[in-house]
Amino acid sequence: MANIENLTIKCPVTIKAKVTEELKANMAGEIQEAIKKADLELQQIDFHAKRMMSEQAKQDAQGLVALRQQIDAERHKRLEFKNHMLDKLKETAQLELGAEIVQGTMDRVVTINVGDDLHKLMATEILLEDGKIIAFRN
């Protein structure tokens, strides 16, 4: 077996953002849109539920219980999501300006050699401020 001099691998890169007023406003706006969407979905569920329940009652009263459970489960999912988003909105309002928050990860391709510090390579971060890269960290 031949000795390999180096190897090319994919490594994760953590994307962090510095908290600014603009970032907080953008995050709050996205969360508020998700809340509006959940409210709209709840209204649609309620609207369709009445029609579906009356149609089910005409066809088969036995199926009413199962249909009601299905509707309640859908409503519950939307309400849980909405409550989660309301909690996130409160958390967003409490973020301190200048703090750094994780916004996700990306992959990068890296050529590694014998003797390289793999932990250092795996700890790479990109820091953003209002969407612009302001630092690379190892």
pLDDT of residue 2: 67
pLDDT tens for each residue of 6-33: 899 999 999 999 999 999 999 999 999 9
Q: Are residues 52 and 25 in the same domain?
A: yes
Count: domains in the chain: 2
Q: Are residues 31 and 88 in the same domain?
A: yes
Q: Are residues 30 and 10 in the same domain?
A: no
Q: Are residues 70 and 127 in the same domain?
A: no
pLDDT tens for each residue of 40-68: 999 999 888 888 888 877 787 777 888 88
Q: Are residues 106 and 89 in the same domain?
A: no
Q: Are residues 138 and 86 in the same domain?
A: no
For residue 5, give its domain range.
Answer: 1-19+97-138
Characterize 41-51 residue by residue with b for buried, 16 or more Cβ atoms within 10 angstroms of its Cβ, and e for exposed. Answer: bbeebeeebee
pLDDT tens for each residue of 89-110: 999 999 999 999 999 999 999 9
